[in-house]
Amino acid sequence: MKTQNVSRTVLAAGVGAVLAATALLYVPELVGQGPPRPPGPAERATIAAHAGAQASLPDLAALITDREEWLRAHPDDEASWAELGAAYTQRGARLGDVRDYPRAERALRRSLAERPAAKGNTDAQLGLAALAGARGDWKSAKEWGEQVRKADPRRWPAYPVLMDAYNGLGEYKAAQKAMETLEGLHTGAVVRARAAQTFRDRGWREDAEVAALDAVALAVTDADKAASLARLGDLAWERGEPDEALARHGTALALVRDHGPSLAGRARALTALGRTDEALRDWRAALARLPLPEYVLEAGELSESLGLDGDARALYERLRTGTWAGGEVTLALLDADHGNAAAAVTRMRAEWARGHRSVRAADALGWALYRSGKTAEALGYAKLATEEGLRSALFSYHRGEIERALEERGPARRHLTEALRINPYFSPLLAPKATEAVTALGEPPDELPKELRPEPETPRREGSGGTTGTSSTLARPAAR
């Protein structure tokens, strides 16, 4: 729910990196024709892609139109098919519109038909890796990405896509190694954004903040700068600093008026600050602009927390009946908290079997098991979610409630308190429940747990060279 917003913006940046790898550079023949004309929208999108930056959505749409027209006259141009597929994927990811993904797959497969992978068509392979990642198919994303890396180890756009795949599969050491390779091959906003994600996932919040600030400074387009500012806003939110988050997202929205991640981020910050009417307004705008499943769930839970049960039910139904890419974790959390917990378990067991073993998947499976009454089994998954490094208030809350149900009062108190320490505003529904749970657990006992108590000393008999019982002198250091 609240923990993956940074990775969402980073995923869009990774898809953009693929477009950078496949884009064709328009260089009109202007020698002797006077000053060069300003680049048009399609050219601007291509120039941004070559810089590893996000183009504006209107420019991206113009690039798609340009490539579609070109390919009607030149259907054997495999490079343009790959570029078109990458552009479709990026647009779908940035708009939350899954209808672009079948278009992307058709274009990329056509590119491979014109020039197979065996003949060096790494552009199409890389595009298919990014498309699989956008769909949440991390296993396929890894397979395609590793084929590209094997064919060309210095092709830097492959590494952001591989990082997404490794993180989705829970292969965090491989993701870290890919990050190190990327830093040796390329610089710029994309790389610093990836570094921010890596540091965040390891719990290094200060380092993540510095890397995200670097990404803002290095951004070359308004779209790229807005994405970097949204990342900073999400990091502030996760630290429980809603004022800072509000300022960061506000700056992003001044650059890109309808920037979806920043509308959602501002809605969260406004909720924490008690400005719920404004938060509801921003959630409506965010869902109109970028209808991601996690946004629908968060908006529904805000409505429920305010007693707007009809609005909440409508949003939950929208989530249940919609078509989503990579929304299994969110749908499981919806069922676990607002529907059929047994169905949530079935859904997440299937995801786990598919190889989706990220901390998000572990947390969702553990919570679904707990909500369906399988509390002992749930704890193992909750531990996987909380012990990898990411500092998530939601994950800590889930683990604390599971431990409380198992009557592990000390660990439960520690993790519930930690959730509120990480971010006291992490959920309008669950943060108050965390506070109630900590209160119900009460203060920790004065005495140590039995396993930590010192063994009592055996009294010595008189005449044995010592004293009977214990003495405070036993704790003193020897005289020098």
Residues whose CB is less than 8 angstroms from the CB of residue 22 and which lie 6 or more positions away in sequence, other chains included: 49, 79, 82, 83, 85, 86, 123, 126, 127
Predicted local confidence at residue 445, as pLDDT:
73
Predicted local confidence at residue 473, as pLDDT:
33
Q: Which of 21-25, 72-76, 107-111 has the lowest mean pLDDT?
A: 21-25
Predicted local confidence at residue 477, as pLDDT:
36
Per-residue pLDDT band at 33 (split at 50, 70, 90): low
Per-residue pLDDT band at 48 (split at 50, 70, 90): confident
Predicted local confidence at residue 55, as pLDDT:
87
Cα dihedral: 271, 275, 277, 278 (round 10): -90
| Average confidence (pLDDT) over 4-22 | 60
Per-residue pLDDT band at 50 (split at 50, 70, 90): confident
Reported as a single tens digit per residue, the pLDDT across 268-289 is 999 999 999 999 999 999 999 9
Reported as a single tens digit per residue, the pLDDT across 55-77 is 899 999 999 999 999 999 999 99
| The one-letter amino acid at 214 | D
Question: Which of 159, 162, 163 lies closest to 187, judged by CA?
Answer: 159
- % residues pLDDT > 70 (the chain): 85
Q: Say if residue 17's pLDDT is above 70.
A: no
Q: Which of 39-53, 76-90, 172-186 has the lowest mean pLDDT?
A: 39-53
Q: Say if residue 362's pLDDT is above 80.
A: yes
Q: Say if residue 18's pLDDT is above 90.
A: no
Q: Are 211 and 192 in contact (CB under 8 A)?
A: yes
| Average confidence (pLDDT) over 114-118 | 97
Reported as a single tens digit per residue, the pLDDT across 372-429 is 999 999 999 999 999 999 999 999 999 999 999 999 999 999 999 999 999 999 999 9
Q: Which of 48-57, 160-169, 288-297, 428-437 has the lowest mean pLDDT?
A: 48-57
Q: Say if residue 476's pLDDT is above 70.
A: no
Distance of alpha carbon 438 from alpha carbon 418, whole angstroms: 10
Q: Say if residue 265's pLDDT is above 90.
A: yes
Per-residue pLDDT band at 52 (split at 50, 70, 90): confident
Predicted local confidence at residue 443, as pLDDT:
86
Distance of alpha carbon 302 from alpha carbon 379, whole angstroms: 27
Q: What does the angle CA 292 – CA 328 – CA 88 come to, to the nearest 5 degrees?
A: 50
Reading phi first (left if > 0) and then psi (alpha if -120 to 50, else beta), residue 389 is in left
Reading phi first (left if > 0) and then psi (alpha if -120 to 50, else beta), residue 221 is in beta
Predicted local confidence at residue 317, as pLDDT:
97
Reported as a single tens digit per residue, the pLDDT across 287-305 is 999 999 999 999 999 999 9
Distance of alpha carbon 318 from alpha carbon 116, whole angstroms: 41
| Average confidence (pLDDT) over 4-12 | 55
| The one-letter amino acid at 474 | L
Per-residue pLDDT band at 47 (split at 50, 70, 90): confident
| Average confidence (pLDDT) over 124-152 | 97
| Average confidence (pLDDT) over 308-330 | 96
Q: Which of 238-242, 284-288, 468-472 has the lowest mean pLDDT?
A: 468-472
Per-residue pLDDT band at 5 (split at 50, 70, 90): low
Predicted local confidence at residue 283, as pLDDT:
98
Which position has the token pair 């070559």? 50
Q: What is the mean pLDDT of the chain?
A: 89
Per-residue pLDDT band at 25 (split at 50, 70, 90): very low
Q: Are 395 and 363 in contact (CB under 8 A)?
A: yes
For residue 313, give the 3-state DSSP assignment: helix
Distance of alpha carbon 375 from alpha carbon 367, whole angstroms: 9
Reported as a single tens digit per residue, the pLDDT across 169-189 is 999 999 999 999 999 999 999
Q: Say if residue 366's pLDDT is above 60.
A: yes
Q: Say if residue 117's pLDDT is above 50.
A: yes
| Average confidence (pLDDT) over 436-447 | 86
Q: Say if residue 2's pLDDT is above 80.
A: no
Question: Which of 195, 224, 214 lies closest to 51, judged by CA?
Answer: 224
